[in-house]
Amino acid sequence: MEKKNIIEIINFIDNEFQKYGVHFISQESYEMLYNLVLLESHLK
């Protein structure tokens, strides 16, 4: 996966959390969410 897509996924996760007032996300949560987004993108 290219770097641009990784940054887009991280920004997407950040934006979704900020909608609900969450401003700190643990590394483990990022990794889990990143893997879910990655998995979903492969299933499309």
Name the residue with tokens 């900020």.
18
Residue 1 included in any domain = no
pLDDT tens string 1-44: 566 787 888 888 888 888 988 877 788 888 888 888 888 878 76
Domain of 30 in residue numbering reads as: 6-43
Split into its structural domains, the chain has a count of 1
Residue 32 CB contacts under 8 Å (≥ 6 apart), including other chains = none
Residue 11 lies in a domain: yes
Instruction: Give the pLDDT score at 1.
Output: 57
Record the tokens describing residue 14, joined without a space.
Answer: 């950040």
- The verdict on residue 26 lying in a domain is yes
Amino acid at 33: L
Tell me the C-alpha distance between 40 and 20, whole Å: 22
Distance from C-alpha of 17 to C-alpha of 15, rounded to nearest angstrom: 5
**Structural contact between residues 12 and 37, judged by C-beta atoms closer than 8 angstroms:** yes
pTM of the model: 0.50
